[in-house]
């Protein structure tokens, strides 16, 4: 059952920016995109490195470590390590490509707005 945690007021999260938030020891990024609030865990699906220094490009977050692109609200991987030569990638990554598998998505969290207060739902 998810646990609801208040993270701040809606006006504290202007659109088009990444906002790092801590929620009971879990590091998250929150963004207002297209009038709604979305959140992802602050870690890339590749090496679990922080995404907080990544770029938000519309609805897409770009990983600062290998420029992979993810849909910020769904976590879906849109472009895995663009420009990297498959022969130079780690073996496990090359195997994903060879099998036609997509890399893992980002982990997302539900954001709820009630009376101008934002809440994150964390799975317990």
Q: Residue 34, class by beta-carbon neighbours within 10 Å (0-12 exposed, 13-18 middle, 19+ buried)?
A: exposed
Q: Which residue has the higher pLDDT, 45 or 60?
A: 60
Q: Going by C-beta distance under 8 Å and a sequence separation of 6 or more, which residues neighbour residue 95? A: none
CB-based contact 81:68 (threshold 8 Å): yes
Q: What's the CA gap between 13 and 29, in Å, rounded?
A: 11
Classified by CATH at the fold level, domain 2-123 comes out as Rieske Iron-sulfur Protein (2.102.10)
Distance CA 116, CA 124 (A): 25
Q: What pLDDT, on a 0 to 100 scale, did the predictor assign at position 85?
A: 53
The pLDDT of residue 90 is above 80: no
Hey, what are 90's tokens?
């780690």
Count the neighbouring beta carbons within 10 Å of the beta carbon of residue 10.
15
Read off the pLDDT of residues 5-25 as tens digits, 9 standing for 90 and up: 999 999 999 999 999 999 999
Residues 52/29, Cβ–Cβ less than 8 Å = yes
User: Among the listed ranges 1-5, 61-65, 75-79, 96-100, which one has the minimum average pLDDT value?
Assistant: 96-100
For residue 11, the 8-state DSSP code is G
Please state the domain extents for the chain. 2-123
Which pTM does this prediction carry? 0.84
């Amino acid at each position: 059952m998810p646990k609801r945690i208040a993270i701040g007021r809606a006006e504290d999260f202007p659109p088009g920016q990444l906002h790092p938030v801590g929620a009971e020891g879990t590091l998250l990024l929150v963004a207002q995109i297209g009038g709604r609030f979305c959140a992802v865990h602050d870690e890339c699906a590749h090496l679990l490195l922080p995404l907080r220094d990544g770029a938000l490009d519309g609805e897409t977050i770009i990983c600062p470590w290998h420029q992979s692109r993810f849909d910020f609200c769904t976590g879906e991987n849109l472009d895995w390590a663009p420009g990297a030569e498959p022969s130079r990638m780690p073996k496990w990554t090359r195997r994903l490509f060879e099998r036609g598998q997509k890399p893992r998505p980002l982990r997302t969290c539900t954001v709820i707005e009630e009376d101008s207060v934002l809440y994150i739902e964390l799975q317990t």
